[in-house]
A and B are shown apart, each in its own frame.
Chain A
Amino acid sequence: MNETVPSVNLLVGRKKAIQKKNVFFAKVQFIAALVLLVYIGLVVAILLVRFGVKAQSDSLDRKIDEQTLVLAQLRPVEEKYYTLTHKLTLLSEFLAVRGDMKASVRLIRDTLPEGVELASIGFGDNNQIMIEARVQDVFVLRDFLTLVRSQVSEDLFRTVNLDGFSRGEDGVWQLSSVYAIGS
């Protein structure tokens, strides 16, 4: 009677499970250590970058100080240059309008109708020419107004403003007007 007894080796599964468990633990440890190392590496890299940028900033500070020192020595030159450009700006603005004034005075006076007698010519700050005149009769005044209207329509003046006209006891008309020149 030779009877075969079935054998069960339960250790094979157990052994495999333990091996698997160990591999898992090793992986976890490895990943955790790797994360830690990478993170520390990142922190170190960031610190290095920060020190680098700080060093760059300090170096720039030194260079700026050097340039500032040199510019302080050049201050008298800069002041002269500033004064010059300032004066030239004032002069440019002034000279830009002066030529028009003379031409406009000539135009105003030379085209006045006969019978209009100039009493004064003034020059305003905003490219304006103010005139005061005496007119002998109303017909001359009409001619003057016609002339002024045509001068504006021909763009010889930007605007002409009649400030007022009055008639005195002697029958002479007094008028004042403001011519705006330029565009």
Chain B
Amino acid sequence: MAVSSMRASAKTQDTKTSGFDLLKSNPSSLIVPLISIGVVVMLTPLVLVPQLNEIIELRREVEQKESTLTDLTEKRTFLEGLDETTLQSDLDLAEKVLPKKKPVFNVIAALGQLVEKSELTLPSYDFTPGLLATESGKVGSVESDPGELAFLTVDYEVKGPFESIYTLMTLLETAAPLAAVKEISIDGMIVPESPDELSGTLTMQMFFSLPPVFRAKPEDPIKKMNARDQETLNEIAQFEEYELDMSNIPALDQQREDLFNY
């Protein structure tokens, strides 16, 4: 009886001994767990977290760079795919319709020819070209912002039937350089019996646009021509160019600045 109670007591004592008590009884067994905990505690804030943050940051950068690279590659493929000869001829065409400088001589030539072609008589005209930069001048000295639609204004005194104004407007629709009637001032009826005859002043505009300032960076996306631009290109290809007959203009001395250029 006594033996069995002693055994039971020893068993109970064994089961009651906790793991913590066991570890306390043998401190040397704590070395490895403590080292593990120490390593985890030290490496986590010093190495693991910064590295993880850096990975997240790098991944973000990589995604951004991949996107940039895709854009650059697309842009390069697009630009390399352009036929330079066609591009130059399209640009020449666009600049013929919308010159890159004040079309001083063209105004005199084109508008005069157009007015006459419309069967309007042209007693006189008044033309104020405004500021003209010289070869040594800066583009900024011309009163127009680069890339904006600007115009020169010419006042023509005209006589003829009103129908000719419509003819003129029709001709202007397909004239290069680009021009438009701004105002028709009618002095009065020339012949009271034929009210369609008019005498008045035609204020006309001749458009030009200084070259736009090109500041695009390589990574900037390229604005591609849309269907409307293509339609416009096809439309202006049909335009008739009115040029000044340069044979009537004395040749400029090459040693002197061309006042009509900049």
Contact = CB atoms under 8 A, between A and B. Distances in A.
A is bound by B: yes
Interface stretch (B119-127, B133-141, B218-226, B249-257): B218-226
Contacts of A25: 22, 26, 29
Chain B interface size, under 10 / 10 to 19 / 20 to 34 / 35 or more:
35 or more
Interface stretch (A32-40, A148-156, A162-170, A175-183): A32-40
Given A33-B32, A88-B229, A109-B162, A43 B69 contact: no
Given A67-B72, A95-B232, A50 B54 contact: yes
B80 interface: yes
Contact of B185 (A20, A87, A109, A119): A119
A33 B35 CA distance: 9
**Which of B6, B48, B58, B149 counts the most chain A CB atoms within 10 A?**
B58
A64 B17 CA distance: 67
A71 B180 contact: no
- Chain A interface main SS type: helix
Interface string B84-124: 10011011001101100000000000000000000000000
Q: Which 6 A-B pairs have the closest CB atoms?
A: A32-B33, A67-B72, A60-B65, A71-B218, A36-B36, A88-B229
29 contacts: A8-B7, A17-B14, A28-B19, A28-B32, A29-B33, A32-B32, A33-B36, A36-B40, A39-B39, A43-B48, A50-B55, A53-B59, A54-B58, A74-B76, A74-B79, A86-B209, A87-B98, A88-B232, A89-B229, A91-B94, A91-B97, A91-B98, A95-B232, A120-B183, A120-B185, A120-B186, A121-B184, A122-B183, A123-B181
Given A36-B32, A77-B82, 15 more contacts: A8-B6, A25-B26, A28-B32, A28-B33, A29-B32, A31-B33, A50-B51, A67-B76, A68-B72, A71-B75, A79-B214, A85-B225, A87-B95, A87-B97, A123-B180
